[in-house]
Amino acid sequence: MISIAQPLFGDAEKKALIEVLESNILVQGPRVEKFETGFSDYIGTKHAIATSSGTTALAVSLMALGVKPGDEVITSPFTFIATASAILLCGAKPVFMDVDLQTFNIAPEFITEAITPKTRAIMPVHLYGLPAEMDAISAIAEEHKLVIVEDACQAHGAKYGDHKVGGIGDAGCFSFYPTKNMATGEGGMITTKEDTVAEKCKLIRNHGQQDRYYYVRWGCNYRMTEFAAALGNIQLTKLDEFNKKRQENAKRLSELLEGEVATPVIPANLTHVFHQYTIQLPSEKIRDGLKQHLFDNGIGSAVYYPLALHEIDFLEGRAVGSMENTKQLTQTVLSLPIHPALSSDDIDTIAGEVKAGLKKQG
């Protein structure tokens, strides 16, 4: 079976985990500190704050930037639920507006109509590893005095112009879940250039403790383990190599599928790191038929995402506009394997079965 995702761990990662066990320091120790320093250097920010997951990274960032109960945060409805869950963890309300049909990202032209006196933040999602239109989003945020938290949980190493995502807004957030471009099992990271934001994030992730057992604000246990950081330190050294292989696989797949399906679009001046390689099919029926054909022939695929967040009742969000683009995408997208463990033969097989599956659909 050609899997849709596969973390790549080697002997160095195994050795690092044993060293953690032997050290007897298991949480928020020197390996976490090293990971934070290395990651901030990689993204190009002054600070990086490690957390227990991408979700907690998003929530802590919002809290540190002053998002509170009753506030509204504008974001995408076409993403993983963690984006909205983090907003709810602050007691705030997600406000959803439509996305661009080609990039799948939040469409800046729709943002302004979603702004109200309660709006406090914009949370653009760099979906599938492709940066959102940050110049336009930043201009809107500056005009309306809003903060920006970048959801870069799928975009480690992606660039908007010469700048890595996560270093453009007031804060950026990353996830190290096993399917991501670099993995620690669970774990997250906040990046920011602001000293005060970084200090608040550090307090919130550790029960609000300024010194041991002395609490200066509300917080929770959102700390990273030394195990996760040990893996992260090694995975970070491999990230550019992993991303290069994903990009090569994507280029080859797009060449093989040209004229067959709508392949990923990469606007000028953006660097896509292909957390997912996502095609669009003419209809939901054809998409689902192709997915089944691929499964029957030993190829994993997935629909990210079949349900838009504004359609989930318990999220209690607010949708602005028709959401026509989002609705279309939930019915037509299909992600194919793109991870760096794939061989050139695997890519040829995937493309061949996509063509065969489409032909089978008639």
CATH architecture observed for domain 11-97+104-233 = 3-Layer(aba) Sandwich (3.40)
Q: What is the pLDDT of residues 174-186, one digit of tens each?
A: 999 999 999 999 9
**Average pLDDT per block of 10 residues along the chain, 362 residues long:** 96 98 95 98 98 98 97 98 97 96 95 96 98 98 98 98 98 98 98 98 96 92 98 98 98 97 97 98 97 98 97 88 96 98 98 96 75
What residue ranges do the domains of the chain occupy? 11-97+104-233, 239-361
Q: Are 65 and 71 in contact (CB under 8 A)?
A: no
Per-residue confidence (pLDDT) for residue 361, from 0 to 100: 80
pLDDT of 315: 85
| The predicted structure's pLDDT at residue 53 | 98
Q: Are 51 and 205 in contact (CB under 8 A)?
A: yes
β-pairing verdict for 188-192 and 171-175: antiparallel
**pLDDT of amino acid 15:** 98
**101 and 325 Cβ atoms separated by less than 8 Å:** yes
Task: Classify domain 239-361 at the CATH topology level.
Answer: Aspartate Aminotransferase, domain 1 (3.90.1150)
pLDDT value of position 316: 77
pLDDT of residue 320: 92
- Residue 271's H or E segment, with its range, is strand 270-271
Give 98's Cβ-side CA count (13 Å radius). Answer: 16
Q: What local confidence, expressed as pLDDT, does residue 314 receive?
A: 87
What's the pLDDT at 344?
97
0.95 exceeded by the pTM? yes
Tell me phi and psi for residue 296, to 5 degrees.
-60, -20
pLDDT at 251 (0 to 100): 98
What distance in Å separates the CA atoms of residue 158 and residue 153, rounded to the nearest whole number?
11
Instruction: Match 């250039």 to its residue by tokens.
Output: 193
